[in-house]
Chain A
Amino acid sequence: MRSILLAVLAAYVVAAIHSVLAFVNKRRSLQRVSEWSMAIGFILHTAALIAEWLLEGHYPLFYRSETLSFLAWAMVGAYSLVLYKYSARALGPFTLPLVSILIFVALLTESESGAKEASGFSETWLFPVHTTLLFSAYAAFFVVFVASVMYLVLERELKLKTFSAIFHRLPSLTTVNEIATVAAALGLTFLTLGIASGMLWSSSQYNRLWHNDPKEIFAVLTWLLYLALIIYRSTAQWRGRRAAWMGVAGFALVLVTFFGARFMGGYHVFG
């Protein structure tokens, strides 16, 4: 498993380097190398996840190394969709290096064994659904974040009428706005279903919907923020800069939800 993941890491690193170079030099040939390398990495990664699931006997999204690897997988998937739908190649140099780092850290922490046993959580199908949905939401919110930052940069330079080198390398204002909108809507859907499935699982396991632990509270705050973002966007009052700022703020909340819970303790601490 480790050797496959090493190959995945190599493919993603090659993809990341070529993506950054393509961004800097505006070279299509480098971009093609990046996309092929990423495709190979993604296929291997998917195979590794399935193999792990079959061999280890639990859904590969429980221990810390697994969560990082799965998050990376979801991010590559999200970037691929953006690439396919909007050909917004500029997202690559921001996504792929981070993906590589996630896999690298996952490889470093692999040997670590968790505080809780995974087996107890795999008995119902709801738990894997709960985690998968939430990680898909995180990946979507990451896309919202990157697109929002791009929007802010573009908008600022258009207002100031001075264009830096990065300006010419970003997609159009409308494109990044649309990416942020669609990704936010998808992310919110995943988050809603993720929270709901978590509650269902918890009630079936402990007869309790709500544990009042930090992760849950932050997840609900995140949910509220993205809900507000979607509503304001659809009523056309807050499109543009303010929506973009919300996209950035929302991601800060996502980070707190994802990593913060570890430090605040509570029920949602596993690995």
Chain B
Amino acid sequence: MPIVLVGVNHKTAPVEVRELLAFSEAACSAGLRDLIDGKILQEGLIVSTCNRVEVLAATDQIQNGTERITTFLGQSHRLPADVFESHLYSHTDDHAVRHLFRVASSLDSMVVGEAQVLGQVRQAYSLALEAGTTGKVLNRLVHHAFHVAKRVRTETGIGANAVSISYMAVELGKKIFGSLKGHTVLVIGAGEMAELSTRHLLNAGVSRVLISNRTEASAQKLAGEFGGEAVPFNHLPDYLKEADIVICSTGASKYVVTEEMVREALEKRRNRPAFFIDISVPRNVDPAIGNLPNIFVFDVDDLEAVISSNIREREREAERAELIVASEVMQFQQALRALDVGPTIGALKERLQSIARTELGRQRGRLGDLTPEQEAAVEALLLATVNKISHPLFSHLRRSYDASVPETLQAWRDIFGLEE
């Protein structure tokens, strides 16, 4: 059965259009039940995230199916077609399969390689399952898409290198210390980025969090949130020696962490390495500490530069991922074709009828002269016999196909040598 996909993504539509077309979970289920009525569209699912709204469907009628989905998008959001139609793309068959594989593998994402999109596709699938709008074709397709996404993630480095400042702290920490277990992070100041970094570090296994802020109360509050300790701001040098990772993000106009402080701390740390992330502008950590041995310091610009190089690395890996997707699309189509009962029955029927016709041709001479009516009757007799005998076989094949037992189908193909 042909597959169609109609939708918009961050490349074809601005956010104003995408948000108009977005589906909530409830709207998604209701919409699916409305859309998949079994007349034009047999199966369907809706992927709706902040970067894309896509409807994937299995249909017998590609043209009508595509139009039906387009009308549905307009109707369900009460939008005139001209608002969104120019932003729509539609793919059929191989292209639709390829598109879904690319979406699930995060090749079509704004940040290539981000991990959320697979979860969003999973969510979309489970909504469709609940709504009962998936069937043989989409079940197979979506499961294959999950398989492709897993392959891409394990066989390429597409999600390997951090592409956000908050995650850089974890990545650099691991590159320097190996495991983060048993290590201490000191957060100076506050701010969304510092908090996010700390959260990532905690998830990655950091054992101890120290928080220091000019206003004692906010340090206390943050410490409570992370299960850390608030440490007094004027005693910073005492705690610097204990910190392996320092995240600095204050509004101060001069250096909060000076070279002198770090030099002393390094001595007390017996030269154990430490690294500093300075996300404040103007900078709060003296960049000169980078000249000290075993001290590594990154400011916002450094992090941005690393991130853009990581994005380039991801794009290189994405090229390898595209090859995986291409080969998987071919495999999926082959599997689907082998599974499709229609062509198998057609081919079997043809094989049996051609046997009947050949035999008739061989014995035709002995029958002598026949009128055209007699001639037709003999042929009809033969073909009807063949069809009557093979009918139970075909019914059995259809039943086993519906019960998803592809082996039966394959067995008959093998018996009659239909592969050649």
Binding site for B on A (CB under 8 A): 26-28, 154, 158-159, 161-163, 165, 167-168, 171-175, 236-237, 239-242
CB neighbours of A174 from chain B (8 A) = 176-178, 273
B305 within 8 A of A: yes
Nearest Cβ in chain B — how far from A85, in angstroms? Answer: 12
Nearest Cβ in chain B — how far from A10, in angstroms? Answer: 27
Nearest Cβ in chain A — how far from B256, in angstroms? Answer: 21
Given contact pairs A171-B178, A172-B174, A173-B176, A158 touches B296 in the complex (Cβ within 8 A): yes
CB neighbours of B310 from chain A (8 A) = 163
CB neighbours of B290 from chain A (8 A) = 159
CB neighbours of B154 from chain A (8 A) = 28
B175 within 8 A of A: yes
B160 within 8 A of A: yes
B229 within 8 A of A: no
B298 within 8 A of A: yes
Of A26, A154, A171, A236, which contacts B271 at CB under 8 A?
Answer: A236
Sample of 15 A–B contacts (CB below 8 Å) = A28-B154, A158-B172, A161-B306, A162-B305, A162-B306, A163-B306, A165-B313, A168-B160, A168-B161, A171-B178, A173-B177, A174-B273, A239-B271, A240-B271, A241-B293
Closest to B174 in A: A172
- Contact between chains at B270 and A173 (CB < 8 Å): no
Given contact pairs A162-B305, A173-B176, A240-B271, A168 touches B296 in the complex (Cβ within 8 A): no
Docked Cα-Cα span, A242 to B306, in Å, equals 26
Binding site for A on B (CB under 8 A): 154-155, 157, 160-161, 172, 174-178, 270-273, 275, 290, 293-294, 296, 298, 302, 305-306, 309-310, 313
CB neighbours of B178 from chain A (8 A) = 171-175
- Contact between chains at A163 and B176 (CB < 8 Å): no
- Contact between chains at A168 and B298 (CB < 8 Å): no
Docked Cα-Cα span, A239 to B273, in Å, equals 10
Closest to A164 in B: B309
Closest to A237 in B: B271
CB neighbours of A239 from chain B (8 A) = 271-272, 294
CB neighbours of B302 from chain A (8 A) = 161
Docked Cα-Cα span, A172 to B294, in Å, equals 13
Docked Cα-Cα span, A165 to B309, in Å, equals 10
- Complex A-B, nearest 7 residue pairs according to Cβ-Cβ distance, in ascending order: A172-B178, A236-B270, A161-B302, A174-B178, A175-B178, A173-B176, A158-B296
Docked Cα-Cα span, A254 to B301, in Å, equals 43
Nearest Cβ in chain B — how far from A32, in angstroms? Answer: 13
Given contact pairs A163-B309, A236-B270, A26 touches B177 in the complex (Cβ within 8 A): no
CB neighbours of A242 from chain B (8 A) = 293
Nearest Cβ in chain B — how far from A43, in angstroms? Answer: 30
- Contact between chains at B160 and A240 (CB < 8 Å): no
Closest to A86 in B: B178
Docked Cα-Cα span, A237 to B272, in Å, equals 10
CB neighbours of B309 from chain A (8 A) = 162-163
CB neighbours of B272 from chain A (8 A) = 239
CB neighbours of B296 from chain A (8 A) = 158-159
Of the candidates A163, A236, A242, the one having the most CB atoms from chain B within 10 angstroms of its own CB is: A163
Docked Cα-Cα span, A66 to B61, in Å, equals 75
Docked Cα-Cα span, A237 to B270, in Å, equals 7
Closest to B317 in A: A26
